[in-house]
């Protein structure tokens, strides 16, 4: 049976994927973290047992474990500028070789200062919870222009400059002049990135997987998925297991699917949040009000939304529940909508669903003393990992990985 | 979810990447190693194999061995940073559909700790790992001679490939260096470094002839190496390999040169098209590659698709690969 594992957030993000990935890598046997969606807007917080803290954005959250390498797959949007700052911070907290342990697929899209500026210019008009990092712009530009800059272009200065030039022109045409660095400066920095990070081609990831099992680290959460999230409060990224499974299938491999959730719910920025309960607000050392993203919101457990997440992502083999030291007192088993919430066929349908959710009221029952047990029963998926704090030492594995019923989804 | 916590300042990033010297790509060598890495040690190796698989049904063997002695200066480090792109270059434009690449290194068997290092034929980036494990010898003889003949003996007798065995198609071997070979493959060195019970020395010309039945052999002389300007060098290799001696004035273009040489030999491309591809990739290597390959291009003849009949020395035939 394959030992790979895919870690995906079943909620709106912030459930603790970083801490789960860190724990998995610290315990072994994983020597590789593969990122398969999103980009530099991810913020996966990891605190080591000796108190060091890093917010992982592009590096895999297993990087504190010596030797663990990160591969940014072609489904990632890579921001070489933010990557440099992140590597510097990792060096400051004792991880000096993070860039040496990084590989980037040459087909990964690049997020540039131009995307970022366009994102911010647009978002002052339309607020839907963007991070202001240019991720949506990166994805949108690549959909309409087949010469979007990609990681591999950083090895080809002339082509990179041409592509950056065209990108900048098109965004200026659309939005007027933006405050951005000029193309030469940007190309120089991207070229330096290519001189430092290893950019790889087809066949690299399959080789890496043959060498040993990997953790596939998702970003954001299933409820923010570009197709299944509550439109328009979504991210320009597939946040389900799909991207990871595509990469694994290409490599002739498979993985276990681990869904992560908090023992209460959170959401950054606007959008439906049926069980929102401001009275539940807990101290959040690492999640703050974002200038572009909006408020950090908390709420009671929501079995309806989580079941929806499981349904749209094709189910999980096991759950990892974090923040069990402070679980929500209530769990919502039903909304007063009189109908099941189900994915629609298109974004118009998803927007209608969003409207219904904005007026839905939760029906609660108490969580009880055994929060993990309540969640397991409500979602019908076994809990494999319980976490009561930020560090790996705050986590307890339940011996779920060997349960027989667990193998139903695993690929032999 | 996050909020853009890391700085995206273009000047900071550029400075940071420039400042980050990082671990050397030759981590094994720079880590203080003094012996050949076990994965590259030819001793006791029966064969290094390039084989077809479901994923790569029509494999084509391509070997690149470079001189790692002191006379080459920084050349091995440049090669190490450039060669990982070779696979991508070959495949992107369809010059070769299923290349399997082996990297190795040549030293001096009379005095070196690492006279011969040979990785495996790989069809993915694991070949990079072999590159990273190559021990940079430095040193060398100082007599303008390295043990290329030993490396050529290994390639002739200790490699096997499906392209030849199944399809009668020779592999490609590129040697990169700046010195001459010794006049004989010494039985004593074979037994000590590769293993076996070879009793007689083998004349260099004999091993070259044997090797050319398995591989299209090229010798690349990089400018900037110690002896590269010495005419005796090019003359020596031309005597052995005919027009397959390539002088390269920009080492940064080594991948492109190898890829285009193979592209030309495979009849996948002509020189003009190939140079267009390089421009398309944004490579600035075009002029160097053009100068390096022009002699090959002008002598381009029939493309052999089957191996030479046993016993026929390709050096004597009119049929050339380019």
Average pLDDT of chain B to the nearest whole number: 80
Q: How many CB atoms lie within 10 A of CB A343?
A: 15
The CATH code of the domain at A109-199 is 1.10.300.10
CA A321-A327-A331 angle, to 5 degrees, is 90
Per-residue confidence (pLDDT) for residue A286, from 0 to 100: 63
- CA-nearest residue to B23 within chain A is A100
Output the pLDDT for position A403.
37
Option in B6, B122, B280 nearest A86 (CB): B6
A409 pLDDT more than 50: no
Phi, psi of A100 (to 5 degrees): -70, -20
Question: B124 touching A, CB under 8 A?
Answer: yes
Q: What's the token pair of residue B78?
A: 């440049």
ipTM for this model: 0.81
Query: Is B3–A293 a contact, with Cβ atoms under 8 angstroms apart?
Result: yes
Q: CA A20, CA A391: separation in Å to the nearest integer?
A: 9
What pLDDT does residue B297 have?
66
B72 CB burial (10 A radius; 0-12, 13-18, 19+): buried
Q: Which residues of B touch A40 (CB under 8 A)?
A: 4, 6, 8
- Secondary structure class of A237 (helix, strand, coil): coil
Q: Quick one: pLDDT at residue B283?
A: 67
Contact of B199 with chain A, judged by CB distance below 8 Å, is answered with no
A30-44, A195-209, B54-68, B194-208: segment of lowest average pLDDT: A195-209
* A313-349 per-position pLDDT tens digit: 999 999 999 999 989 999 999 999 877 788 988 999 9
Give contacts of A 351-410 with B, CB under 8 A: none
The answer to whether B263 and B255 are in contact (CB under 8 A) is no
Question: Cα-flanking dihedrals φ and ψ of residue B100, to 5°?
Answer: -125, 120
Lookup result for tokens 């959040």: A284
Tell me: pLDDT of A35 over 90. yes
- State the average pLDDT for chain A: 87
Cα–chain center distance at B93: 20
Considering only CB atoms, B1 lies closest to which of A13, A99, A106, namely A13
Q: Which of A106, A113, A211 has the CB atom closest to B8's CB atom? A: A113
| A137: pLDDT strictly greater than 80 | yes
Higher pLDDT, A206 or B311: A206
Chain A residues whose CB is inside 8 A of the B97 CB are: none
Task: Provide the pLDDT for residue A291.
Answer: 52
Residue A257 three-state SS: strand
The predicted model gives B123-140 an average pLDDT of 74
Most confident listed range (A73-82, A294-303, B121-130): A73-82
Q: Which candidate in A9, A44, A153, A253 is catalytic?
A: A44
CA distance A78 to A106: 10
- Residue A266 is predicted with a pLDDT of 92
Q: Would you call A94 an interface residue with chain B, using a CB distance cutoff of 8 Å?
A: no
Is the pLDDT at B203 greater than 90? The verdict is yes
Tell me, yes or no, if B299 comes closer than 8 A to chain A by beta carbon: no
SS3 A117: helix
Region B34-60: what's the mean pLDDT?
Answer: 90
Positive or negative torsion for Cα A18, A19, A21, A25: positive
Between B35 and B237, whose confidence is greater?
Answer: B237
DSSP E strand boundaries for B60-214:
60-67, 99-106, 116-118, 145-146, 159-161, 171-176, 180-181, 184-185, 202-203
The C-alpha atoms of residue B237 and residue B220 are separated, in whole angstroms, by 10
Question: Which residues make beta-bridge pairs with A265?
Answer: A299
pLDDT above 70 covers what percent of chain B? 82
The answer to whether residue B24 neighbours chain A at the CB level (below 8 Å) is: no
Domain boundaries, chain B: 8-269
Dump pLDDT digits (tens) for A142-183. Answer: 999 989 999 999 988 888 999 999 999 999 999 988 889 999
> Measured between CB atoms, which of B8, B16, B281 is closest to A79?
B8
* Distance separating alpha carbons of residues B66 and B202, to the nearest angstrom: 22
Q: Contact at 8 Å (CB) between B217 and B241?
A: yes
Tokens of B287: 């002029």
A116 in B contact zone (CB under 8 Å): yes
Q: Which of A140-154, A196-210, A347-361, B193-207 has the lowest mean pLDDT?
A: A196-210
**Closest to B30 in 3D by CA, of B132, B119, B139:** B132
Cα torsion B154, B158, B159, B165 to 10°: value is: 130
Query: What's the average model confidence in pLDDT over A100-122?
Result: 92
- Closest residue of B to A239, CA-based? B1
Model pLDDT, residue B71: 72
pLDDT category of residue A125 using cuts at 50, 70 and 90: low
Percent residues over pLDDT 70 in chain A? 91
Residue with tokens 């595509």: A246
Identify the pLDDT of residue A294.
61
- Out of A155, A186, A288, closest to residue B10 by CB: A186
pLDDT of residue A2: 59
What pLDDT score was predicted for residue A382?
Answer: 93
Query: Which two three-digit tokens encode residue B263?
Result: 């592209």
Rounded CA gap, B130 and A276, in Å? 55
Name the CA dihedral angle for A94, A98, A99, A102, rounded to a multiple of 10 degrees.
180
Longest dimension (CA), chain A: 63
B233: enclosing H helix or E strand = helix B231-241
Q: Tell me the fold of A5-103+201-397.
A: Adenylosuccinate Synthetase; Chain A, domain 1 (3.40.440)
Q: What is the predicted pLDDT for the residue at A364?
A: 95
Lowest mean pLDDT among B36-45, B140-149, B310-319: B310-319
CA distance B293 to B322: 10
| Interchain CB distance below 8 Å, A84 and B283 | no
Instruction: Quickly state the pLDDT bin for B305 (edges 50, 70, 90).
Output: very low
Lowest mean pLDDT among A50-54, A333-337, B83-87: B83-87
Q: Annotation-wise, does A269 bind a ligand?
A: no
pLDDT confidence of residue B314:
36
* Distance between CA atoms of residues B253 and B13, nearest Å: 27
The CATH homologous superfamily to which domain B8-269 belongs is von Willebrand factor, type A domain (3.40.50.410)
pLDDT tens, residue by residue, A353-389:
999 999 999 999 999 999 999 999 999 999 999 998 8
Q: Looking at beta carbons, which residues of chain B come within 8 Å of A87?
A: 16, 20
Residue A324: phi, psi to the nearest 5? Answer: -75, -5
User: Does residue A44 carry a catalytic annotation?
Assistant: yes
- Give contacts of B284 with chain A, Cβ < 8 Å: 157-158
**Chain A residues 310-349 within an 8 A CB cutoff of chain B:** none
List, by residue range, all CATH 1.10.300.10 domains of chain A: 109-199
Report the distance separating Cα A15 and Cα A8, nearest Å: 9
Asked whether the predicted pLDDT for residue B257 surpasses 50, the reply is yes
pLDDT of amino acid A126: 57
Greatest Cα-to-Cα distance within chain B, rounded to the nearest angstrom: 72
Query: Do A155 and B123 lie within an 8 Å CB cutoff?
Result: no
């Amino acid at each position: 049976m394959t030992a790979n594992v895919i870690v995906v957030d079943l909620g709106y993000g912030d459930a603790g994927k970083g801490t789960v990935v860190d724990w998995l890598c610290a315990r072994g046997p994983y020597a590789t973290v593969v990122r398969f969606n999103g980009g530099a807007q991810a913020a996966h917080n990891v605190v080591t047992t000796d108190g060091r803290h890093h917010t992982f954005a592009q590096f895999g959250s297993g990087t504190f474990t010596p030797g663990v390498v990160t591969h940014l797959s072609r489904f990632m949007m890579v921001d070489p500028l933010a990557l440099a700052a992140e590597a510097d911070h990792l060096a400051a907290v004792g991880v000096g070789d993070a860039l040496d342990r990084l590989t980037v697929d040459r087909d990964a899209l690049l997020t540039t200062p131009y995307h970022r500026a366009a994102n911010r210019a647009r978002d002052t008009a339309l607020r839907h919870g963007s991070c202001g990092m240019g991720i949506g712009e990166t994805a949108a530009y690549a959909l309409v222009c087949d010469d979007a800059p990609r990681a591999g272009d950083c090895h080809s200065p002339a082509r990179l400059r041409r592509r950056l030039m065209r990108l900048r022109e098109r965004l200026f045409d659309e939005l007027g002049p933006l405050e951005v660095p000029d193309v030469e400066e940007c190309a120089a920095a991207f070229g330096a990135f290519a001189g430092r990070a290893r950019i790889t081609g087809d066949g690299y990831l399959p080789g890496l997987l043959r060498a040993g099992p990997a953790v596939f680290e998702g970003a954001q959460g299933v409820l923010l998925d570009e197709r299944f999230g509550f439109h328009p409060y979504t991210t320009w990224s597939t946040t389900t297991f799909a991207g990871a499974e595509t990469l694994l299938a290409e490599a002739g491999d498979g993985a276990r699917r681990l869904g992560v959730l908090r023992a209460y719910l959170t959401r950054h920025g606007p959008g439906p949040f049926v069980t929102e309960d401001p009275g539940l607000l807990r101290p959040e050392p690492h999640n703050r009000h974002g200038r572009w993203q909006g408020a950090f919101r908390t709420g009671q457990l929501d079995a309806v939304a989580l079941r929806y997440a499981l349904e749209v992502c094709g189910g999980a083999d096991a759950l990892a529940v974090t923040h069990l030291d402070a679980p929500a007192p209530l769990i919502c088993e039903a909304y007063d909508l009189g109908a099941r919430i189900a994915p629609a066929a298109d974004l118009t349908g998803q927007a209608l669903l969003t409207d219904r959710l904005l007026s839905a009221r939760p029906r609660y029952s108490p969580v009880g003393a055994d929060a993990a047990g309540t969640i397991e029963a409500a979602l019908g998926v076994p809990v494999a990992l319980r976490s009561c704090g930020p560090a790996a030492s705050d986590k307890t594995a339940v011996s779920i990985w060997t349960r027989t019923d667990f193998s139903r989804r695993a690929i032999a | 979810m996050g909020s853009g916590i890391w700085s995206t300042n273009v000047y900071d990033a550029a400075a940071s990447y420039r400042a980050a010297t990082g671990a050397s790509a030759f981590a094994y060598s720079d880590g203080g190693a003094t012996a050949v890495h076990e994965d590259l040690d030819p001793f006791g190796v029966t064969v290094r194999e390039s084989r077809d698989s479901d994923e790569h049904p029509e494999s084509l063997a391509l070997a690149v061995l470079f001189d790692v002695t002191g006379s080459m200066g920084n050349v091995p480090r440049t090669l190490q940073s450039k060669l990982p792109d070779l696979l991508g270059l070959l495949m992107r434009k369809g010059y070769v559909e299923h290349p399997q690449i082996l990297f190795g290194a040549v030293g001096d068997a009379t005095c070196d700790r690492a006279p011969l290092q040979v990785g495996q034929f790989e069809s993915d980036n694991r070949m990079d790992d072999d590159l990273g494990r190559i021990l940079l010898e430095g040193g060398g003889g100082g007599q303008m001679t390295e043990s290329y003949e030993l490396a050529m003996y290994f390639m002739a007798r200790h490699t096997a490939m499906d392209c030849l065995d199944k399809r009668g198609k020779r592999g490609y071997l590129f040697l990169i260096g700046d010195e001459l070979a010794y006049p004989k493959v010494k039985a004593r060195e074979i037994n000590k470094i590769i293993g076996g019970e070879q009793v007689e020395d083998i004349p260099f010309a004999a091993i070259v002839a044997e090797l050319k039945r398995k591989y299209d052999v090229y010798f690349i002389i990089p400018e900037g190496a110690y002896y590269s300007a010495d005419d005796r060098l090019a003359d020596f290799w031309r005597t052995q390999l005919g027009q397959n001696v390539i002088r390269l004035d920009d080492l940064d273009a080594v991948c492109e040169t190898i890829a285009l040489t193979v592209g030309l030999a495979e009849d996948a491309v002509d020189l003009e098209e190939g140079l267009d591809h390089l421009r398309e990739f944004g490579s600035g290597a075009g002029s160097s590659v053009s100068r390096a390959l022009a002699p090959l291009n002008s002598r381009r003849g029939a493309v052999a698709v089957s191996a030479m009949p046993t016993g026929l020395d390709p050096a004597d035939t009119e049929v050339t690969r380019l």
